[in-house]
Amino acid sequence: MRKFGLMVAVSLAVCLALAPMAGAAEIKVGGIYDITGATSDVGKDYGTGAIAAEKYVNANGGIDGDTVKLIPNDYAYKIPEAVNLYKQYLSVDKVFVIQGWGTGDTNALRPLINKDQVVFMSASYDGNLTDPKQTPYNFFIGTDYSTAIRLAMQFAQDKGAKKVVFIYPDHPYGKNPIPAGKAYAEKIKLNIGPDEIVDLKAIDATSQLLHMKQFDPDYAWIGGTTASTAVIIKDAAKLGLRTKFMINCWGFDENLPKLTGEAAVDRAYGMMPTAVWGTDVPGMKAVLASAGGQAYTLHYIKSWVSMLVMTEGLKRAKKAGKLNGPGLKAALETIKDFDTGGLTAPITYTPSDHRPNTSMAIYGVAAGGKLQKVKDVTLERVPEYIGK
Amino acid sequence: MPCGLFFSKYEKDDAIFKTVWLKCWMTVLVVLLLTFPLFSQKFSEMLGLNVTNLLNLIFVYIIGAHGLNLLTGYTGQISLGHGAFMGVGAYTTGILANAGWPFWLALPAGGVMTAAVGMLFGIPSLRLRGLYLAIATMAAQFILDYAMRNWTSLTGGSSGLIVPSASLFGFTFDSDQSFYYLALAFAIMATMYLKNLARTRTGRAFVAVRDRYLSAEVIGVNLFKYRLMSFGISSFMVGIAGGLWAYYITIISDEHFTMWLSVQYLAMIIVGGLGHVLGGIFGAVFFVVLPELLRLPAEAATAVYPNIFGIFASLREMVFGLIVIMFLIFEPDGLAARWHTVRNYWKLWPFSY
């Protein structure tokens, strides 16, 4: 009998320990990540960062006492799978905010997001998603791709470039920023060569680069992810091209020098919306602590900041007493010059402009494979570029 | 009490539902299916899965699996192009729907278009069999896949094509619950069609072609006609599945209709049971439900060990592959055969011998 009593006591204790603390509500957040798909080279760290940030937020008071519960799932970079997960989160988990991933699926979900009034924080920084008239519920934390590609063109011209080429995968992520880049390049009188398509899963880019060599550009834009970018950089070095590469933020990270070796030195430049791993800024301490000694890439940091901004929005929404989709949207739009501790430039959303900021850093690779800041750049925040 | 089935009339022997009990069970099933949306919400929350969404996908895949089962299971012609054929149906329906065609016209048009494409690529079946035909249909897969991706003006390329929700007689099927009835109706129609087709002269000709094409030709079966017809009907069904899928997901992109989908369709009917009507149904259920069920432990494990979320997500794919292999080893005749074994056991329970 005593044994039975003990067992009851133990199981009660276990239940109590496992049960969430009384009075604290749980705010569920859907998570759509790419762990096994075409962009998993950068998606894995992004997913890990989100889970670490969830822990950090809850350990530091949560949303004024409420806890955040992230429900992460892999969608393998397939649009229909993202639609399935979205439906699952809405009908079963009853979320009003989702942390999403790719450009293709985020754009595909636009009609549903608007209909269901769900705040969708994507890892796609597509310029299309910054116009609240079209996409009132889409938010993201990094400088948008269109701004990045304009800044890249400006940087190329400042370095004396005359000719540029655009290299990208045939995916919405690669294609969407290109018109903005071309329009800007034309405006500042750069000569544009024929586009080259390099797949996200490419293992060889020699034929594209040989074709590009005929035009012999000074600078080329790469709109892929790290794995395919590394292929391009290595092949360019092998062919002895003089072209330098401006790389979108998902194609340039701490893994690139590891994959390319010395080839990336003085050849690869990344348009970085966030600080790289281990940069000496106040916000990095918590990031490093959460990783427990492991070294991740800057995509971890992007995800971390996305969760922090969402948390700030949730806090403001809770204060206003409106913990729902429209409430969170309104709360996020009150965020002005939000300090991420130097992890990104200060973030501002307004009801007419969802671009978080228009500043970024250009990074290069130093000898020895360390990422090194080359220059801080800012594009003037003009209304004509909203949503384009 | 008779300890078996004793029919005194041929009509009775030919009936689809042979016994009173079977009729009762089928009625129960139909009533359950029809009333399901009433309690689907409770059910979904209990399981932690969006059950209505899963059932809708199952219904759509059942139609496609029936299509391929007709071709591969009944007529013995292998096809590795059905993933792309589904895409042809989806894109045709989607493009026509965007051009303002009503649902009741756009969907059959998608089916007819797919049937035409399927018959075109079925022509080599006159001369090619087995592995050779598999490669020929695989070529169809690659050609169509390429067209879907690169014919940007028509298909929207990699950005995908947005399709409006289906609407019929002024009612719009824009929720999971309403689409459920639409998909259920089509799945039932496809099942009844396949079941009945197999009992007709045409169906028997298909089976004759499969079992021994030389003998079939000798007894007067026009091989070319029936093979092509089988390709046509099969593609039509998979095209309808594609069209429904487009109306349901409301965005179609080429990355869904790859070689992987073709292989998945084949795996569905092999795991379900080749040449059984039940095969397509079991296969579709298996292939839609299992990955989702495997997601649940991954989700639960992530809550405990957050740092290895990535590993669990990949593990899910591996476990899925492993289970499929196990099924093929231990039940090579498919789930439909196992179902018959189980049913026969219970039929005479507890007095079986």
Q: What is the pLDDT of residues A45-99, one digit of tens each?
A: 999 899 999 999 999 988 888 899 998 888 888 887 888 889 889 888 889 999 9
Tell me the pLDDT of chain A averaged across its residues. Answer: 88
Report the complex ipTM: 0.75
- Output the six-digit token pair for A175: 């294609």
Average pLDDT over residues B170-199: 90
Beta bridge mates, A247: A222, A270
Confidence of residue B309 (pLDDT cuts 50, 70, 90): low
pLDDT confidence of residue A355: 92
The bridge status of strand A370-378 relative to strand A359-366 is antiparallel
Ranges A26-35, A343-352, B217-226, B299-308: which has the least confidence: B299-308
pLDDT confidence of residue A101: 93
Confidence of residue B3 (pLDDT cuts 50, 70, 90): low
- Answer whether residue A388 shows pLDDT above 90: no
Q: Mean pLDDT highest for which of A42-46, B256-260, B322-326?
A: A42-46
Instruction: Name the one residue in this structure whose structure tokens are 């795991």.
Output: B271
User: Over the range A12-31, which residues count as b (16 or more CB within 10 Å of their CB) and which as e?
Assistant: eeeeeeeeeeeeeeebbbbb
B98 interfacial to chain A (CB closer than 8 Å): no
pLDDT confidence of residue A19: 46
pLDDT confidence of residue B112: 96
B302 interfacial to chain A (CB closer than 8 Å): yes
pLDDT confidence of residue B154: 84
Tell me the CATH number of domain A12-142+279-357, given options 3.40.50.12170, 3.40.50.80, 3.40.1480.10, 3.40.50.2300: 3.40.50.2300
Domain A145-272+361-385 fold = Rossmann fold (3.40.50)
pLDDT in tens, A134-152: 889 999 999 999 999 999 9
pLDDT confidence of residue B105: 92
* Nearest neighbour of B158 by CB, restricted to A54, A73, A170: A170
- Answer whether residue B299 shows pLDDT above 60: yes
Local structure of residue B157 (DSSP, 8 states): G
Cβ neighbours of B52 in A, within 8 Å: 91
Tell me the pLDDT of chain B averaged across its residues. Answer: 86
pLDDT higher for A192 or B173? A192
For residue B44, which amino acid is it? S
How many Å lie between the alpha carbon of A65 and the closest alpha carbon of chain B? 20
Q: Do A55 and B306 touch (CB under 8 A)?
A: yes
> Distances from the Cα of B296 to the Cαs of A65, B292, B320, in angstroms?
28, 7, 13
Q: Mean pLDDT highest for which of A21-30, A285-294, B231-240?
A: B231-240
How many Å lie between the alpha carbon of A181 and the closest alpha carbon of chain B? 18
> Distances from the Cα of A94 to the Cαs of A87, A115, A324, B99, B101, in angstroms?
10, 15, 10, 35, 35
Average pLDDT over residues B210-231: 91
* Nearest neighbour of B253 by CB, restricted to A36, A51, A79: A79
The model's pTM: 0.82
* Nearest neighbour of A104 by CB, restricted to B57, B253, B306: B253
Average pLDDT over residues A303-324: 91
Name the residue in chain B with its Cα closest to that of A51: B306
- Among residues of chain B, what percentage have pLDDT more than 90? 39
Name the residue in chain A with its Cα closest to that of B296: A73
pLDDT in tens, A270-295: 999 999 888 889 889 898 988 888 88
* Nearest neighbour of B313 by CB, restricted to A35, A79, A83: A35
- Answer whether residue A24 shows pLDDT above 70: no
Ranges A158-167, B9-18, B138-147, B234-243: which has the least confidence: B9-18
> Distances from the Cα of B188 to the Cαs of A161, B30, B244, B281, in angstroms?
65, 10, 14, 10
Confidence of residue B353 (pLDDT cuts 50, 70, 90): low
Mutate to test the interface with A, among B253, B296, B315 (most CBs of A within 10 A): B253
For residue B273, which amino acid is it? G
A348 Cβ contact list (under 8 Å, min separation 6): A335, A336, A337, A338, A356, A357
pLDDT confidence of residue A21: 44
Considering only residues 303 to 322 of chain B, which have any Cβ-Cβ distance to chain A shorter than 8 Å? 306-307, 309-310, 313-314, 316-317
pLDDT in tens, B48-99: 788 888 899 999 999 999 999 999 999 988 899 999 999 999 999 999 999 9
The bridge status of strand A163-168 relative to strand A219-222 is parallel
- Answer whether residue A18 shows pLDDT above 70: no
pLDDT confidence of residue B312: 72
Confidence of residue B254 (pLDDT cuts 50, 70, 90): confident
Q: Mean pLDDT highest for which of A174-183, B108-117, B243-252, B289-298?
A: B108-117
- Answer whether residue A15 shows pLDDT above 50: no
Confidence of residue B307 (pLDDT cuts 50, 70, 90): low
Q: What distance in Å separates the CA atoms of residue A307 and residue A314, rounded to the nearest whole number?
A: 10
Q: What distance in Å separates the CA atoms of residue A77 and residue B244, rounded to the nearest whole number?
A: 23
Q: Do A79 and B160 touch (CB under 8 A)?
A: yes
Beta bridge mates, A372: A364
Cβ neighbours of A88 in B, within 8 Å: 49-50, 53
Average pLDDT over residues A246-261: 91
Average pLDDT over residues A305-329: 91
A119 alpha carbon, distance to own chain's centre: 16
Name the residue in chain B with its Cα closest to that of A172: B159
pLDDT confidence of residue A219: 93
Confidence of residue B298 (pLDDT cuts 50, 70, 90): confident
Taking alpha carbons only, the member of A123, A157, A355, A106 closest to residue A248 is: A123
Mutate to test the interface with A, among B41, B47, B49, B50 (most CBs of A within 10 A): B50
- Answer whether residue B308 shows pLDDT above 70: no
Domain spans in chain A, listed from the N-terminal domain onward: 12-142+279-357, 145-272+361-385
How many Å lie between the alpha carbon of B266 and the closest alpha carbon of chain A? 20
B149 interfacial to chain A (CB closer than 8 Å): yes
Q: Are the folds of A12-142+279-357 and A145-272+361-385 the same? A: yes
Instruction: Name the one residue in this structure whose structure tokens are 């689809």.
Output: B16
pLDDT confidence of residue B56: 92
- Answer whether residue A6 shows pLDDT above 70: no
